[in-house]
């Protein structure tokens, strides 16, 4: 093994990545005869290359790099729309970031720098698909032939039918776009598409988003070149959203009709799915308060029929598990007061609904439905909420069978027939590795291995000093189990403690997966790191999430304090030197923790925090707090600005960090807090990043901000207690 070295921030964010290569976007060919994926380039963890795997009876898998990510780059500057879309997708890589299969499985199509290409596999020929003057968004192929569609300058275009690309819509205008998701759909509903070919290829359904009802405001992005005013229609909570229209194009004739979908003007259109028979669309619709999720069938003559509805006294979470079945009915998932379960719904036929998963199972994501075999593959949890497995369920309701095992975190991708799988496995002691498997989960080949004990592994020089975290649990005040992950230095201590917090809904941080290597940097400084998934966090079901309804930052903070109390008497725990650190909702939580109990914390680091929930967006904020008009007390109680007295009792304990081009949690959140602290004569430290968006992504910026964090904590931990 290589000589042991101290892990530095400079090395942590350099290439090659210490956790090994990143593999993502596994996509099987339509007939399941090949597999393509993206993989970080050797020696450059920020660039993605396109890879292909094929197999036969003689060879389980043959792999090759098809296109290097830097081979096609034009170096063109991204437009603001492209930057915003990448931010919504959390795409922080260079190179090839989007691709899909042509419908015959003989070619791959990809977009790079706004140019659409087709790569024919038989001869490795690369052909440009889009005209020279087009910037391509959302390249999508039609089923059954070589046609494709994309968005250029806010309208839909069609190509691949033997001639030049032709314009399908002429609806684009200032604030109006066709075929691209609006801000709320992309950022909060996680619906990244806005047009859909019918299975028979005859029709194209699409959305037109009109954002002009949202008042235009100027976001002043500070960059290294100066101040740039960016016009943005940000949907502040309680205000208007974009207006959506659902269009249907018959491609052969160009006939366009507009279809009804709303019950109320403020309804959300969360999901659109074609029926397998191409004679109808299935829509998932929510009212503004999100307490219902309605499944609707929309025929092509405009007849809208309710098929199913879920209800909640708080909110209904969205999902991507709806699968219409050719044999009748559909696969569906729902929480209904507890963890998410699978159901078989009747659609047009008579018959009862059937629950497919038993108590004790938590369904996280459907991978594939094998209707001919009566089976469904999904990611789920059986007994340990911190572990995730690949499970095979049955449409007749028989108990699911796990295809993976161990105290680990698994993610999967499946071929259309379910006979081939890619399984990613990571654990507390092993970074992600990828296996190509048969339909039973038996490995056939290795896509990427990550043996940490191999002398050539990037992390090998740092392995001997690594501290493996422990996972345990304690109980919340209502008796529900709260899981924590603790990483601490060797020895008896006492050690300073960093409470690393996110705490918000929609995320689960305490898992059996590979933990953040940043925590190893903290441990080598002599600091312990404690993480806790408080109530309100994802992955546990409705009863675990809903205590935060109409009040944010109260229940979550009490649970975090319960974790501190749990360890307060431990000999390694230095109760006089505790810091709290978080980003985004975690930044909000860091401020709330410090304000609620300034005597408990020597330091707080708050990155890109929400400080005033009236400044955040509609769909996210109103899901939990409802509108400011209907719950003004909840907004007041959930903010940070009303808690200045608590922050004033911890002078100098706060480091505030924010990207100055953040279009999600606007920089205004921090400027308002800064102004309030200054007016109250409260000392604090601030680090702002010109040009950086919400993630403050990139090796240089990451190294700098965590360097600032470590230097700040080191000062605070060594100063005399106030």
- Is 90 exceeded by the pLDDT of residue 559? yes
Overall average pLDDT of the 625-654 stretch: 97
> Could you read off the pLDDT of 377-427 as tens digits, one per residue?
999 999 899 999 999 999 999 999 999 999 999 999 999 888 999 999 999
If we measure between CA atoms, which residue out of 274, 277, 278 comes closest to residue 328? 277
**Counting beta carbons within 10 angstroms of the beta carbon of residue 64, is it exposed (0 to 12), middle (13 to 18) or buried (19 or more)?**
exposed
Catalytic residue positions, numbered: 584, 662, 694
On average, the pLDDT of the chain sits at: 94
pLDDT of residue 58: 80
**The 3-state secondary structure of 283-317, one letter per residue:** EEEECCCCCEEEEEEEECCCCEEEEEEEECCCCCC
Query: Among the listed ranges 36-50, 312-326, 679-693, which one has the minimum average pLDDT value?
Result: 36-50
**Two tokens at 414?**
């499946």
Phi-psi region of 523 (alpha: psi -120 to 50; beta: other; left: phi over 0): alpha
pLDDT of residue 1: 40
pLDDT of residue 566: 98
pLDDT of residue 22: 93
What is the distance between the alpha carbons of residues 2 and 460, in angstroms, rounded to a whole number?
A: 6
CB 625 within 8 A of CB 506: no
Q: Which residue has the higher pLDDT, 284 or 79?
A: 284
Overall average pLDDT of the 646-665 stretch: 95
CB 17 within 8 A of CB 458: yes
Phi-psi region of 153 (alpha: psi -120 to 50; beta: other; left: phi over 0): left
- Is 50 exceeded by the pLDDT of residue 680? yes
Overall average pLDDT of the 136-150 stretch: 95
Dihedral pair phi/psi, residue 236, rounded to 5°: -60, 145
What is the distance between the alpha carbons of residues 575 and 579, in angstroms, rounded to a whole number?
A: 10
> Could you read off the pLDDT of 513-539 as tens digits, one per residue?
999 999 999 999 999 999 999 999 999
CB 667 within 8 A of CB 687: no
Q: How confident is the model at residue 87 (pLDDT cuts 50, 70, 90)?
A: low
- Is 80 exceeded by the pLDDT of residue 90? no
pLDDT of residue 69: 85
> Could you read off the pLDDT of 340-371 as tens digits, one per residue?
999 999 987 778 899 999 999 999 999 999 99
Q: How confident is the model at residue 270 (pLDDT cuts 50, 70, 90)?
A: very high
Geometric angle at alpha carbon 638, from 635 and 639, rounded to 5°: 90
pLDDT of residue 71: 81
Helix/strand/coil for 148: strand
Residue ranges covered by each domain of the chain: 335-427+430-457, 468-718
pLDDT of residue 75: 60
C-alpha distance from residue 687 to each of 607, 677, 692, 712 (Å): 9, 15, 12, 11
CATH number for the region 468-718 comes to 3.40.50.1820
**Counting beta carbons within 10 angstroms of the beta carbon of residue 554, is it exposed (0 to 12), middle (13 to 18) or buried (19 or more)?**
middle
Dihedral pair phi/psi, residue 430, rounded to 5°: -140, 125
**β-sheet bridge partners, residue 157:** 150, 167
What is the distance between the alpha carbons of residues 472 and 547, in angstroms, rounded to a whole number?
A: 22
Count Cβ atoms below 10 Å from residue 625 Cβ, excluding itself: 24
Q: Assess if CATH 2.120.10.30 describes domain 335-427+430-457.
A: yes
> Could you read off the pLDDT of 465-506 as tens digits, one per residue?
999 999 999 999 999 999 999 999 999 989 999 999 999 999
**Counting beta carbons within 10 angstroms of the beta carbon of residue 32, is it exposed (0 to 12), middle (13 to 18) or buried (19 or more)?**
middle
316-337 CB burial, b ≥16 within 10 A, e <16: bbbbebbbbeeeebbbbbbbee
Q: How confident is the model at residue 2 (pLDDT cuts 50, 70, 90)?
A: very low
pLDDT of residue 563: 98
pLDDT of residue 43: 80
Task: Please give the share of the chain, as a percent, with pLDDT higher than 90.
Answer: 85
What is the distance between the alpha carbons of residues 568 and 550, in angstroms, rounded to a whole number?
A: 31
- Is 90 exceeded by the pLDDT of residue 442? yes
């Amino acid at each position: 093994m290589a000589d042991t070295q101290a892990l530095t921030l400079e090395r942590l964010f350099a290439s090659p990545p210490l956790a090994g290569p990143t593999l993502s976007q596994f996509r099987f060919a339509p007939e399941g005869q090949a597999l393509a994926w993206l993989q970080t380039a050797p020696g450059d963890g920020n660039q993605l290359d396109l890879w292909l795997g094929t197999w036969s009876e003689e060879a389980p898998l043959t792999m090759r790099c098809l296109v290097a990510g830097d081979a096609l780059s034009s170096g063109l500057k991204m437009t603001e729309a492209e930057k915003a879309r990448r931010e919504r997708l959390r795409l922080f890589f260079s190179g090839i970031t989007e691709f899909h299969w042509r419908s015959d499985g003989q070619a791959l199509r990809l977009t790079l720098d706004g140019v659409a290409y087709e790569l024919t596999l038989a001869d490795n020929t690369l052909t440009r698909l889009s005209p020279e003057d087009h910037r391509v968004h959302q390249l999508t192929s039609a089923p059954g032939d070589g046609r494709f569609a994309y968005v250029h300058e806010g309208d839909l275009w069609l190509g691949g039918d033997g001639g030049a690309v032709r314009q399908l819509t002429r609806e684009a205008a200032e604030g109006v776009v066709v075929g691209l998701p609006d801000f709320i759909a992309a950022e909060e509903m996680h619906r990244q598409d806005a047009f859909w070919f019918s299975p028979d290829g005859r029709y194209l359904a699409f959305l037109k988003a009109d954002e002009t009802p949202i008042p235009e405001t100027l976001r002043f992005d500070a960059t290294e070149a100066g101040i740039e005013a960016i016009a943005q229609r940000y949907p502040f909570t309680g205000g208007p959203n974009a207006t959506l229209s659902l269009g249907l194009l018959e491609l052969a004739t160009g006939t366009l009709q507009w279809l009804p979908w709303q019950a109320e003007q403020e309804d959300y259109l969360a999901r659109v799915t074609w029926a397998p028979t191409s004679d109808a669309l299935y829509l998932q619709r929510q009212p503004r308060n999100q307490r219902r999720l309605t499944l609707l069938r929309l025929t092509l003559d405009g007849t809208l029929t309710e098929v199913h509805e879920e209800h909640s006294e708080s909110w209904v979470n969205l999902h991507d598990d709806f699968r219409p079945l050719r044999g009748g009915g559909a696969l569906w998932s729902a929480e209904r007061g507890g963890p998410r379960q699978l159901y078989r719904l009747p659609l047009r036929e008579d018959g009862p609904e059937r629950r497919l998963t038993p108590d004790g199972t938590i369904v996280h994501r459907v991978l594939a439905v094998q209707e001919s075999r009566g089976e469904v593959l999904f990611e789920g949890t059986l007994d340990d909420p911190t572990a995730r497995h690949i499970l095979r369920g049955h449409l007749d309701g028989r108990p699911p069978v796990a295809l993976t095992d161990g105290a680990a975190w698994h993610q999967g991708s499946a071929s259309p027939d379910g006979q081939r799988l890619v399984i990613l496995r990571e654990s507390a002691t092993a970074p992600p590795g990828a296996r190509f498997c048969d339909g039973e989960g038996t490995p056939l080949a290795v896509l990427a291995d990550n043996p940490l004990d191999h002398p050539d592994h990037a992390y090998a020089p740092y392995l001997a000093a690594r501290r493996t975290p422990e996972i345990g649990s304690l109980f919340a005040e209502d008796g529900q189990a709260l899981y924590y992950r603790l990483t601490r230095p060797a020895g008896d201590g006492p050690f300073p403690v960093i409470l690393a917090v996110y705490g918000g809904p929609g995320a689960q941080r305490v898992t059996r997966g590979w933990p953040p290597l940043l925590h190893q940097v903290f441990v080598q400084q002599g600091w312990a790191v404690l993480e806790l998934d408080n109530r309100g966090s994802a992955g546990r079901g409705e009863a675990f999430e809903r205590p935060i309804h109409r009040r944010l930052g109260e229940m979550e903070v009490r649970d975090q304090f319960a974790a501190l109390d749990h360890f307060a008497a431990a000999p390694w725990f230095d109760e006089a030197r505790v810091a709290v650190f978080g980003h985004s909702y975690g930044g909000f939580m860091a401020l709330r923790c410090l304000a609620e109990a300034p005597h408990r914390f020597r330091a707080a680091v708050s990155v890109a925090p929400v400080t005033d929930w009236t400044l955040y967006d509609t769909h996210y904020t109103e899901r939990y707090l409802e509108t400011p008009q209907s719950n003004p007390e909840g907004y007041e109680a959930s903010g940070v600005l009303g808690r200045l007295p608590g922050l004033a009792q911890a002078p100098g304990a706060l480091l505030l960090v924010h990207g100055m081009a953040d279009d999600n949690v606007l920089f205004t959140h921090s400027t308002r807090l800064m102004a309030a602290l200054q007016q109250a004569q409260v000392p604090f430290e601030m680090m702002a990043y010109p040009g950086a968006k919400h993630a403050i992504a990139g090796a240089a910026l990451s190294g700098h901000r965590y360097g600032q964090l470590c230097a700040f904590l080191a000062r605070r931990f060594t100063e005399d207690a106030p």
